Structures are given as C-alpha cells and as structure tokens.
Amino acid sequence: MAVRPLDDRVLIKPLEAAETTAGGIVLPDSAKEKSQRGEVVAVGGGKLLDTGERAPLSVKSGDTVIFGKYAGTEIKVEGVDHQIMREHEILAILEG
C-alpha cells in the first residue's frame, strides 16, 4: 500500500531513539523519548496558493529531518510506524 500525502503534508518514518545514554546506561522502552528525527518517505504536491498555483515544498523524499516532539499524527503503513505532518511542523533538514 502506497501513501501519497496531500497538499503540504509530508510522510516521515521516524528514526529509532537512542537505546543507551551517553554514559552507556541501557534504557528500557518505558524510559525512551519519542524520536524527533526521521526520514522523509513521501511529500505532497505543495500548498495551494490563492492564485491557484502550488508552492513547492522545501523537503524531498530521502531527506533526514528534525521535527517537534508532538508534531504530526502517528499512523501505521504496512505495520511500520510513520508520522504525517504539515511541512511547517518540520524544524530542520539534516545535511551531510
């Protein structure tokens, strides 16, 4: 099943949260924080402007991004957790 976001929405597959602390302590599942990094899987066509044109998105499939802790809506696609959110909820694109 393929998911195609609409307008300025973006489908993101969250990256796994760290399982150990910087000091080497292994964290149980209940202590892990929700991941705020992810890989863009699919993007919509862009926000519809008043002129009838679409504004292009700044992100593209394959980009690694940082988003807000409570941004978007969690969904499952073929049993895998994803988040769908508007482009303005993405805080940054990680480069390099």
**pTM higher than 0.75 for the full model?**
yes
Cα angle 47, 83, 4; round to 5: 50
pLDDT tens digits, 12-53: 999 876 666 667 777 666 666 677 899 999 999 999 899 989
Residues 6+ apart with CB under 8 A from 96: none
Helix (H) or strand (E) holding 86: strand 80-86
Pairwise pLDDT comparison (1 vs 59), residue with the higher score: 59
Residue 41 is predicted with a pLDDT of: 95
Percent with pLDDT over 70 in the chain: 85
Residue 17 is predicted with a pLDDT of: 67
- For the chain, the domains span 9-16+33-94
CA distance 38 to 26: 22
The CATH architecture that domain 9-16+33-94 belongs to is Roll (2.30)
